């Protein structure tokens, strides 16, 4: 059987985009969201250990830019199942040539794209429609003591959000700016 994905590299080393290939007929479609055989190279010996789903109701809302510090760093496989989002990953690997560079992709139920985010990246998104539903596959379980983030409004990151930010959690708004001494993570 041929692969149900086309996986392409982005400008940030390790960050990949997967174009899913739904198979459909008059009844609808079947779509593979994950396959170890096809995505095993991305996971480099790790496996999915946690699956999360989120619903964000309001257009223009931002969630992010989240990551877990080592030794609980995680890779994520992120898909939008309903609505559309501008999904962003930031390279926070301290010794990377692309340190603090970001990449954004529109993920939607209609375009069947998935972002494959390696360890050492912060992740977040902005909703481009109401009632956006996201699916996350993680290679590490959530550890509250390792939780961290970057401020989505940080001018040092210069993320070009497509819409004015309509809402953000107090926690996300309180993340420090990179100018406050953020040195990245060492994996």
- 43 pLDDT band, cuts 50/70/90, is confident
- The whole-number pLDDT of residue 1 equals 41
On whether residue 137 sits in a domain, the answer given is yes
Mean per-residue pLDDT, 159-172: 97
Query: Sign (positive/negative) of CA torsion 74, 76, 82, 83?
Result: positive
> Does residue 78 have a pLDDT over 50?
yes
Q: What is the mean pLDDT of residues 157-182?
A: 97
Domain-located, residue 80: yes
Is 184 a member of any domain? Answer: no
Task: Examine residue 186 and state whether it is found in any structural domain, yes or no.
Answer: no
Residue numbers of the domain that contains 42: 5-178
Q: Which residues are catalytic?
A: 66, 136
Q: How much of the chain, in percent, has pLDDT values that exceed 90?
A: 83
Does 120 map to a domain?
yes
CB burial readout 105-135, b (16+ within 10 A) else e: bebbeeebbbbbbbbbbbbbbbbbbeebebb
CA neighbor of 153 nearest in space, from 139, 164, 142: 164
> How many domains is the chain partitioned into structurally?
1
DSSP 19-76: EE--EEETTEEE-----HHHHHHHHTT----EEEEEEE-STTBEEEEEEE-TTS---E
**pLDDT exceeds cutoff 70 at 2:** no
Q: What is the CATH number of the domain that holds 60?
A: 2.60.120.10
Does residue 84 form part of some domain?
yes
Report the pLDDT value the prediction gives residue 29, as an integer from 0 to 100: 86
- Asked if the structure places residue 60 within a domain, the reply is yes
Residue 187 lies in a domain: no
């Amino acid at each position: 059987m041929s692969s149900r994905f086309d996986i392409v590299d982005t400008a940030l080393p390790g960050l990949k985009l997967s174009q899913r290939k739904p198979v459909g007929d008059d009844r609808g479609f079947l779509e593979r969201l994950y396959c170890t055989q096809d995505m095993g190279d991305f996971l480099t010996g790790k496996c999915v250990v946690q699956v999360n789903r989120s619903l964000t109701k309001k257009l223009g809302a931002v969630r992010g830019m989240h990551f877990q510090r080592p030794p609980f760093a995680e890779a994520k496989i992120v898909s939008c199942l309903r609505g559309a989002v501008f999904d962003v990953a930031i390279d926070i690997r301290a010794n990377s040539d692309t340190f603090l560079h970001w990449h954004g992709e529109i993920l939607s139920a209609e375009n069947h794209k998935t972002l494959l985010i390696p360890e050492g990246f912060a992740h977040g998104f902005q909703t481009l429609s109401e009632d956006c539903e996201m699916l996350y596959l993680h290679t590490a379980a959530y550890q509250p003591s390792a939780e961290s983030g970057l401020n989505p409004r940080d001018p040092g990151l210069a993320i070009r959000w497509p819409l004015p930010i309509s809402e953000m959690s107090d926690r996300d708004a309180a993340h420090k700016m990179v100018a406050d001494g953020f040195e990245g993570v060492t994996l």
